[in-house]
Chain A
Amino acid sequence: MSELGDHIQLTPTEASDPRWYQKAVFYEVGVRGFYDSNDDGFGDLRGLTEKLDYIEWLGVDCLWLLPFYQSPLRDGGYDIADFFSILPEFGDLADAMTLLEEAHRRGIRVVADLVVNHTSDQHPWFQESRQSRDNPKSDWYVWSDDDQKYKDARIIFVDTESSNWSWDPVRQQYFWHRFFSHQPDLNYDNEEVQQAMIDVVKFWLDLGLDGFRVDAVPYLFEREGTNCENLPETHEYLKRLRKEVDASFPGRVLLAEANQWPADVVEYFGQGDEFHMCFHFPIMPRMFMSVRREQRYPITEILSQTPEIPEGTQWGMFLRNHDELTLEMVTDEERDYMYAEYAKDPRMRRNVGISRRLAPLVENDRRVAELLHAMLFSMPGSPVLYYGDEIGMGDNIYLGDRDGVRTPMQWTPDRNGGFSKADFARLYLPPLMDPVYGYQAVNVEAEMRDPSSMLHWMKRMLEVRKQHPVFGTGSMEFISVDNPSVLAYVRREAESGDTILCVNNLSRFAQPAELPMQQFDGLTPIELLGRVPFPKIGELPYFVTLGPYQFYWFQLVDQSGSEDRGGDDA
């Protein structure tokens, strides 16, 4: 294995910026749903490799793969049955290595999901552990004679689980699980478990993987009298993991999924010695809410509650992902509101969230979809796109669980949306076929041909974003605007001298905005998508008008001394 690993490490991505993730655009994709190379109805690693040209064309910097490990697939692959092998439907280790090699050749990095908190109950570790109370792995999971311990820990999947303990008839004891009852929690108080997980991480990094998105990190340890989340012991272990990664694999990234308030999430950055990145969960529902309310406060108040993060770390920002629109982090009143606005049909409610894709969430209003992306791309953090959202794909709420947003990627208007040549009935999930979002109306091929498509717009936005690293690493200052429907902020970076003013109209009506920009007196705003110079900023408030859901990105440039606009392109 290590022979092949050494080979991969010669790829060009190794040599570049070790903090690449601060400026990268991520693209989340489930292997199962992207492209089927062998006509079995299941997307696979080879299929994904075949589509790398598309991903490169779009301008994505890093792929995030949903779990591809051996699994009984009772939780979309998050129930891992063997950390060292690939789910056969996806291919094998050689396919994974080809994917990494081909991605790296195109300058694209690849990170993958890893579940450290628990395994599938089919995992050999659990199968061994449950056999007796004194086998070598008997202590690898959390066992108890009764189900009364750790009562203060909340139940996360409230729709399906009634307790965090389940009875195992084999061992005649209860086992602890924070998620589904078929996903027993590993016992991190056991040093062997700690080491085993580090071995898993090293195995994949050795193969050339660029990092992990680590699932469900707050729950590794359990302590009586606590809610068993964010415990000091958990942080200590994660720091150890980071140290091991840095020592052998500099430039790889660890991304935390910790669905908590920002003030708690920042703990997972440590002093810059824990995770490189964490997802910013609460911002996402707030962005939707701001657009519905036509006022900026849902966004600005959560950003003002977001602490500074350590040097060298970054937020992961997303509009939608493979899970539901997460509402754990909003107040009850806001949650009721989000339900009322976005999920009038109770079937759309899953756990405490909403299973919809972006386009149907915004009632297929492309202006809103563009505005939300423009904000996503211009706020501090690295944006994470969800496959299919770049073409405005829809969802199918009648599919079970969270499958509604995991339907096949729509490549062409041909059979099965060009995803697979298998018989329709063999497909892992039916592609969308409704008249609005179906593959005949919405697909990559058609949007490639249409220069005004969402896809081309997205590609252009990613291009512009890449030209201005300030979007990734610059500071953010809000500009005070009297009009509550207008959200304006300046991104700025001393290093490059780049200063960008972003103005967003959250309203469905045209809006005026007077921006107090006196501190930028004398600079000329240049609109970034068309490079059109606007009137110079003076000592009076800078006045702009915005159409419904319109946004501007202005680079602020000192043009004194040059008559024409010159070639100043940051």
Chain B
Amino acid sequence: MSGLPKFDLDDIRRLLPSFLAKQRWYSGGEPDTIGIEQDEQLHDRMLWLLVDADGKRYQVPVGGCATSAPPDFLHGHDASIVGASNDVLLYDATLDPELATALLSVVAPDEDVTYVRPMGAEQSNTSLVFDDRLVLKVFRRVHDGANPDIEVTAALGGVGFKHVAAPVGVWERDQRHLAVVQPYLQGATDGWALALTSLRDLYASEHIDDPAQAGGDFGAEARRLGEVTAAMHVALARAFGTDKADVGQWVGVMLRQLERVGAEQPWRSQAEKVFQSFASLANRGPSIRVHGDYHLGQAVRTDAGWFVLDFEGEPARPLAERRLPSSPLKDVSGMLRSFHYAAEVALREREETDVKRLRPLARAWEQRNRKKFLDGYLATDGIDELLGGNEKDTEAALNAWELDKAVYEVGYELGHRPDWVAIPESAVLRILEEE
């Protein structure tokens, strides 16, 4: 090959199906039909493609070089090679530092960077870290309409909420979000990893029966996380407004799920009563835009405190449904359930002979951090207006949301990890017992 690569669209269309089938962000085998909806040369060596594969849109930036001189960065990345077209070797452009940087300058033209690395193993999108300062997230599957994560983080940034990585650049075409550039949260660890660090320390501590006395106590972190969560809800209410709570609809969804998951369960009728009494509460506050899929893995600790990630909602649901307003207690209950999971999962790391001795500690850890989280949450300015009722009503409502989450988890575990079903089941029983 002499000079710059020439991209042959027919060749590329022919090569794409087998390439797509090898990608982790592509679900399923080789597509039956493939079409190139849009193409644009963004760089001398990069052709950007919007591909229709069996009716689903994907974004594929393709790089090219001489087949005679494959670059080093392709070494060991066979799955990222699209194929050869004449004397041009075609490959996933995000692997090429120069092309990745070119892509970055399309999304955030003002940024100057010197080096790039991929960000860990990711399933559904491709994220690249530049200078340990910026992340470029290339959405592979392209949906119609605004991406909820961009929508929410931008809006939260707009009302001055500091605990999200608000976008510094967004690439949008035909009302579809294609890529976003956000600040890279340097040195961040997710809450799940931190919680497990605390639990491992606790479980290995002799002569400690109060988690507050353990070296790895998580209480102060849990409290700060509660404060950030409440501030997030206050900011969400400011950014997206509030609605009158449609408790009837919420309870309807809860009951339908109970019907699906718990029809055979001995605790079904008792759970029903909890949901029904939730419907009859007098004060329940407004409904607001919520995170929607809130747990320890969605919060990361940084040097500037906790940050909240991933406002895409539960990915299994359709976009429109993910945007529906709900109660802030839905997020709170998600986090509280996550504390229980963390304590139990860390317990499962231990030898079976230890488990009986350690279970009271697991319970104490969970209790302490629930309390600390709620203390922080409820003490935050502005949260009272979003909870509406008195303390007792809030407690009852939170109980119902938590029960709902635990019922969902029972269903999920039965389908995916039957070994784990005991975790949410014990939570269901506990909540009903405390009623």
Contacts and interface: CB of A to CB of B under 8 A. Distances in A.
Interface of A: 292-297, 300-301, 303-305, 333-334, 337, 340-341, 477-478, 480-485, 507-509, 516, 518-519, 539
Interface string B292-314: 00000000010111000000000
Given A480-B186, A518-B115, A294 B201 contact: yes
A303 B302 CA distance: 12
A293 B215 contact: yes
A293 B305 CA distance: 16
B204 interface: yes
Contact of B132 (A295, A303, A480, A508): A480
Contacts, number: 71
Contact of A292 (B116, B129, B194, B216): B216
8 contacts: A293-B217, A301-B304, A480-B187, A482-B193, A483-B193, A519-B115, A539-B73, A539-B117
Given A304-B304, A480-B188, 19 more contacts: A293-B198, A294-B198, A294-B201, A300-B187, A301-B303, A303-B303, A334-B220, A337-B220, A341-B215, A480-B132, A480-B184, A480-B187, A482-B120, A484-B189, A484-B197, A484-B301, A507-B201, A516-B129, A519-B115
Contacts of A303: 303
B200 interface: yes
Contacts of A519: 115, 117
A70 B198 CA distance: 52
A300 B197 CA distance: 17
Contact of B216 (A294, A305, A482): A294
B213 interface: yes
A477 B305 CA distance: 19
Contact of B194 (A295, A300, A477, A518): A295
Contacts of B215: 292-294, 341
Contacts of B200: 509
Contacts of B198: 293-294
Contacts of B129: 516
A521 to B, nearest CB: 9
Interface in B298-354: 301, 303-305
A517 to B, nearest CB: 9
Contacts of B117: 516, 518-519, 539
The 8 closest A-B CB pairs, nearest first, are A304-B303, A518-B117, A292-B215, A484-B189, A301-B303, A300-B303, A519-B115, A480-B187
A334 B220 CA distance: 9
Contacts of B301: 297, 484
Interface in B189-221: 189, 193-194, 197-198, 200-201, 204, 212-213, 215-217, 220
A305 B304 CA distance: 9
Given A292-B215, A293-B217, A483 B189 contact: yes
A519 B215 CA distance: 35
Contacts of B189: 295, 481-484
B197 A507 contact: yes
Nearest to B191: A484
A294 B197 contact: yes
Contacts of B187: 296, 300, 478, 480-481
If over half of B's interface residues share one DSSP class (helix, strand or loop), that class is named, otherwise mixed; here it is: mixed
Contacts of B213: 340
A368 to B, nearest CB: 11
B207 to A, nearest CB: 13
A538 to B, nearest CB: 10
Interface string B120-162: 1000000001001000000000000000000000000000000
B303 A333 contact: no
Contacts of B120: 482
Nearest to A514: B120
Contacts of B132: 477, 480, 516
A341 to B, nearest CB: 7
A19 B201 CA distance: 44
Contact of A484 (B73, B193, B304): B193
Contacts of A480: 132, 184, 186-188
Interface string B170-189: 00000000000000101111
A427 B193 CA distance: 53
Nearest to B73: A539
A518 B129 CA distance: 11
A485 B197 contact: yes
Given A300-B303, A333-B220, A337-B220, A484 B115 contact: no
Contacts of B305: 301
A297 B221 CA distance: 10
A297 B197 contact: no
A488 B213 CA distance: 28
Contacts of A539: 73, 117
Nearest to B205: A508
A508 B202 CA distance: 12
A341 B116 CA distance: 42
B389 to A, nearest CB: 29
Interface string B214-249: 011100100000000000000000000000000000
Given A300-B187, A333-B220, A295 B303 contact: no
B219 to A, nearest CB: 9
Nearest to A480: B187
A483 B189 CA distance: 7
Contacts of A301: 303-305
Contacts of A508: 201, 204
Contacts of B197: 294-295, 484-485, 507
Contact of A293 (B73, B116, B188, B216): B216
A331 B217 CA distance: 16
A474 B117 CA distance: 24
A322 to B, nearest CB: 27
B366 to A, nearest CB: 19
Contacts of B194: 295, 484
Contacts of B115: 518-519
B298 to A, nearest CB: 15
A337 B217 CA distance: 9
Contacts of B186: 478, 480
A148 to B, nearest CB: 35
A293 B199 CA distance: 11
A482 B185 CA distance: 11
A341 B208 CA distance: 13
Contacts of B304: 301, 304
Nearest to A305: B303
